[in-house]
Amino acid sequence: MKTRRDFIKISTVGAGAAALSYKAFGANGLGLFKSNSADPVSDEDLTPYPTYCEVCFWKCAGWAYVDKKGKIRKIVGNKNDPHCNGRLCPRGTGGIGMVYDEDRLKTPLIRETGTDGKQYFREASWDEALDVVAQKMDTLRKEHGPECLALFSHGTGGSLFTHLVKAFGSPNITAPSFAQCRGPREVAFTATFGEPVLSPERTDIRDTRCLVLIGSHLGENMHNGQIQEMSEAIDNGATIITVDPRYSTAASHSQYWLPIKPATDLALLLAWIHVIIEEKLYDKDYVEKYTLGLNELKAHVKNNTPEWAYGITTIEPHVIRKTARTMAGAAPRTIIHPGRHVTWYGDDTQRSRAIAILNALLGSWGRRGGFYYPDSVKLPKIKTPPYPKPKRTWRDAVPANKYRLADEVLTTGVCDATIPNPNLSCHLRGWIVYGTNLMAALPDQKKTLDAIKNLDFLVVVDTMPMDLAGYADVVLPECTYLERYDYIRTSPHRDPYIALRMPSIEPMYNTKPAWWMTKQLANRLGLADYFPWKNIEELLDWQLKQVGSSLEEMKHIGVKKFNRAYDDLYWLENLPDYQFNTNSGKIELYSTALSDEGFDPFPVYTAHPEPQSGYYRLNYGRAPMHTFSRTSNNHNLWDLMDENSVWVNPVVAGLWGLKKGQKVWLKNQDDVISSFPVKVRVTERIRSDSVYMVHGFGHTNKKLSRAYSRGASDSELITHVDMDPVMGGTGMRSNFVTFLLEDPALKRKEVKA
Ligand code: SF4
């Protein structure tokens, strides 16, 4: 049964751009890579435990060192791990702050209504909380079918909840990493090469001679191994070309910075393709042998000259030609980087297609210095019953069967499917949200709240009282990654590696790992056969023994390398008759997959909306010391960066009379005003048609004692979304903001009224 779900501040009543830090960027800049132990002790007095980092999703393997009193003193990288090569990024070394954050969720919480009619969270035992969750899931299963449950998951323990929810009978398992992040590039590269880019990206940056970054935050987004390889490539003389309206960290290490007009990248890409074809700079043998559609592509880009692109992008024709020739001169050791967060303007799959096409013309896919074929260890699965076959999916609860090329469940689709539609017989009714703060991760907060209001129940699993937890019916506090086992890391890489995460200390407070929670819930739901192990050590040991290792061995080494299953499938030239996993078996310059679905088989540039007078495009990005909104309360990382600022071009600052450090509120095109003011940073590093801020600040939950009210949240200002018609990605860079120089509290009340 639905209950009115007020936001509850987590409190209980009753009983219960810094510089990159690797060599080419200035060694150990800011001291970020030093030990984070305030009171260093000798390594001889410390015991190391293997782990892999959960502060971001690169999952670098390392060692957590624990002193004799049971306190974690430092974390260092595992030198045998290709994700980090023994060096953690500033966030990784600061991961201890997650454990010793006094604001952590400490015990299960259950929403209740008091005699005064007010809602509050009551501290509960695990048995009580899990009984409530299982009872709600069971009621949903009996009354509406298990398919009415959805799981939002972001993080390693989410795999265990995925297993539980599939065993329960629901296929609705989603993550912001697809529709809000890298989905368009995966769909585009799959349409072109028959395979996605994957994570970590299969880019052979180490050996590249030319790296092209388009709106990329590489360098501020510290995806560790990739940054190390970029540094190595720069040291080896690689050319870096950066396309960005902002003078980013990567731009500052580039031979070419192209300060493009925002939202016009596709025009530049088409012009580059034009130059490479017209000047016959493409890899003729490779294109002839492996690709489909060169002649049609040539005709398609005939008019996309550099002069045409100049009028759109503001990048001068001679620069477009020169950079195109530079890329071709280095080919096939050239990478037009596919990017990671690529949901910008709604035509993102097509822009990513243009990137894939350029790489194909330059012959970089499957070539040294371009893109390699990765491999991973396939750990055997313990025998369990088959998952029940769902009768419905989230798609049955939304009006049109759109986004058919989306090969993952869409987060925003799940929100849509949760809001009842009078013309449809079903809608989703229960959510479990694991490790992702949807209020910051999804655009259009109003829609997310509309969906939440329609839920029969919301369960939040997290380590911290993030904003979303305030809307939960039950909050399940997970212990941090340094206090738990998780599944073995098997991410793809050049060579297959596995890494172990084990607890370095016992879970603090009354917190539990995901494996324990899911097994307990399975027992209560009659799904115990899906968790046929006593504890996760037993499962991991069994799996490891099937591949010639053991839990005992992994506890001593942390990381283990295996042989590639197909040693020859590393570079394409070893496989003369290779068939790509596309409809034609070729690299599809002309995409039959897109044309079969009624989309343009080649990317087409269309203009995007411009800001009205006095408004500026809101661009957002990353900082090396934070991951999304999840780290802003971590005291180690908060010490390095405690709030964001809004970058404003000096011309714009002059127009508004803005001074460095002045605090302003931001108002967007829909009259939404930032909850908190943000400091102005006056800088030439941003174009005058845009502003920029680091994502993940402006928390509204007072229980995040350090992060609360620090800076502004880009997420709350992203109310306009341009949906990608191909795969349902949410284009979020067509929001525009203006400045309010005085406290708009009164104005905000008017807006809400
Ligand atoms: Fe952790 Fe940094 Fe590696 Fe991400 S890149 S997993 S934060 S060490």
pLDDT (tens digit per residue) in 76-97: 999 999 999 999 998 999 999 9
Return the beta strands (E) in 374-527 as ranges: 430-434, 457-462, 474-477, 497-499
Task: Please report the pLDDT score of residue 21 as a whole number.
Answer: 39
Distance from the CA of 88 to the center of ligand 1, in angstroms? 6
- Full DSSP string of 243-302: E-SB--TTGGG-SEEE-PPTT-HHHHHHHHHHHHHHTT-S-HHHHHHHEE-HHHHHHHTT
* Atom number of ligand 1 nearest to Cα 84: 3
Quickly tell me which residue has 């001593």 as its tokens: 556
Q: Angle between the 317-330 and 306-313 helix axes, to the nearest 10 degrees?
A: 120
Distance from the CA of 61 to the center of ligand 1, in angstroms? 9
Distance CA 48, CA 446 (A): 46
- Two tokens at 1? 């049964």
Distance from the CA of 568 to the center of ligand 1, in angstroms? 31
Distance CA 480, CA 100 (A): 10
Length of the chain: 753
Fill in the DSSP letter of residue 419. Answer: S
Distance CA 258, CA 255 (A): 10
* Atom number of ligand 1 nearest to Cα 227: 5
Q: Are strands 239-243 and 430-434 parallel, antiparallel or unpaired?
A: unpaired
- Full DSSP string of 470-501: GG-SEEEEBPPGGG---PPB---BSS-EEE--
Distance from the CA of 580 to the center of ligand 1, in angstroms? 33
- Full DSSP string of 21-74: -SGGG-TTGGGTTS---SS---GGG-EEEEEE--SSTT--EEEEEE-TTS-EEE
Distance CA 480, CA 508 (A): 9
Task: Please report the pLDDT score of residue 567 as a whole number.
Answer: 67
Residue nearest atom 1 of ligand 1, based on CA coordinates? 92
| Nearest one of 399, 372, 355 to 569, comparing CA atoms | 372
Task: Please report the pLDDT score of residue 715 as a whole number.
Answer: 94
Distance from the CA of 89 to the center of ligand 1, in angstroms? 6
| Nearest one of 52, 46, 92 to 73, comparing CA atoms | 46
Residue nearest atom 3 of ligand 1, based on CA coordinates? 60
Distance CA 610, CA 687 (A): 14
Distance CA 36, CA 96 (A): 8
Residue spans of alpha helices (H) in 698-744: 714-717
| Nearest one of 595, 294, 628, 197 to 435, comparing CA atoms | 628
What distances in angstroms separate CA 70 from CA 26, 48, 96, 440, 507, one per listed residue? 35, 11, 13, 34, 11
The reported pTM is: 0.92
- Two tokens at 472? 């939960």
* Atom number of ligand 1 nearest to Cα 93: 8
Distance from the CA of 78 to the center of ligand 1, in angstroms? 12
Residue nearest atom 8 of ligand 1, based on CA coordinates? 92
Residue nearest atom 4 of ligand 1, based on CA coordinates? 56
Residues within a 6 A CB radius of ligand 1: 53, 55-56, 58-60, 84, 88-89, 91-92, 222-224
Reported as half-sphere exposure (CB side, CA atoms, 13 A), residue 275 has a value of: 22
| Nearest one of 85, 77, 66, 47 to 493, comparing CA atoms | 85
SS (H, E, C) 89-127: CHHHHCCHHHHCCCCCCCCCEEEEECCCCCEEEEECCHH
Distance from the CA of 342 to the center of ligand 1, in angstroms? 20
Task: Please report the pLDDT score of residue 728 as a whole number.
Answer: 95
Distance from the CA of 50 to the center of ligand 1, in angstroms? 15
Return the beta strands (E) in 507-662 as ranges: 559-561, 587-588, 616-621, 645-648
Distance from the CA of 497 to the center of ligand 1, in angstroms? 17
Distance from the CA of 55 to the center of ligand 1, in angstroms? 6
- Two tokens at 271? 């012009």
Distance CA 313, CA 264 (A): 6
Distance from the CA of 221 to the center of ligand 1, in angstroms? 10
* Atom number of ligand 1 nearest to Cα 89: 2
* Atom number of ligand 1 nearest to Cα 55: 7
Residues with Cβ within 8 Å of residue 621, at least 6 apart in sequence: 217, 220, 221, 246, 248, 692, 693, 694, 695
Mutate which of 33, 96, 223, 486 for ligand 1? The one with the most ligand atoms within 8 Å of its CB, which is 223
Fill in the DSSP letter of residue 87. Answer: -
Distance from the CA of 21 to the center of ligand 1, in angstroms? 13
* Atom number of ligand 1 nearest to Cα 224: 5
Task: Please report the pLDDT score of residue 373 as a whole number.
Answer: 92
Residue spans of alpha helices (H) in 530-640: 536-546, 551-557, 592-596, 635-640
Distance from the CA of 541 to the center of ligand 1, in angstroms? 26
* Atom number of ligand 1 nearest to Cα 83: 3
* pLDDT block averages, 10 residues each, the chain of length 753: 51 36 38 42 86 95 97 97 94 95 98 92 98 98 98 96 98 96 97 96 97 91 90 96 95 96 98 98 97 98 98 98 98 97 97 98 97 94 96 89 89 96 91 95 94 97 94 98 98 96 98 98 98 98 98 98 79 86 98 97 97 97 88 93 97 97 97 97 97 95 93 96 96 97 69 45
CB 397 within 8 A of CB 409: no
Strand, coil or helix: 339: coil
Mutate which of 52, 58, 75, 630 for ligand 1? The one with the most ligand atoms within 8 Å of its CB, which is 58
Distance from the CA of 124 to the center of ligand 1, in angstroms? 34
Fill in the DSSP letter of residue 179. Answer: I
CB 354 within 8 A of CB 192: no
Strand, coil or helix: 571: strand
Q: What is the residue type of 476?
A: L
* Atom number of ligand 1 nearest to Cα 77: 8
Helix (H), strand (E) at residue 663: strand 663-668
* Atom number of ligand 1 nearest to Cα 91: 7
Q: Angle between the 445-453 and 411-418 helix axes, to the nearest 10 degrees?
A: 50
Mutate which of 89, 93, 622 for ligand 1? The one with the most ligand atoms within 8 Å of its CB, which is 89
Strand, coil or helix: 670: coil
Task: Please report the pLDDT score of residue 209 as a whole number.
Answer: 98
Mutate which of 22, 36, 51, 55 for ligand 1? The one with the most ligand atoms within 8 Å of its CB, which is 55
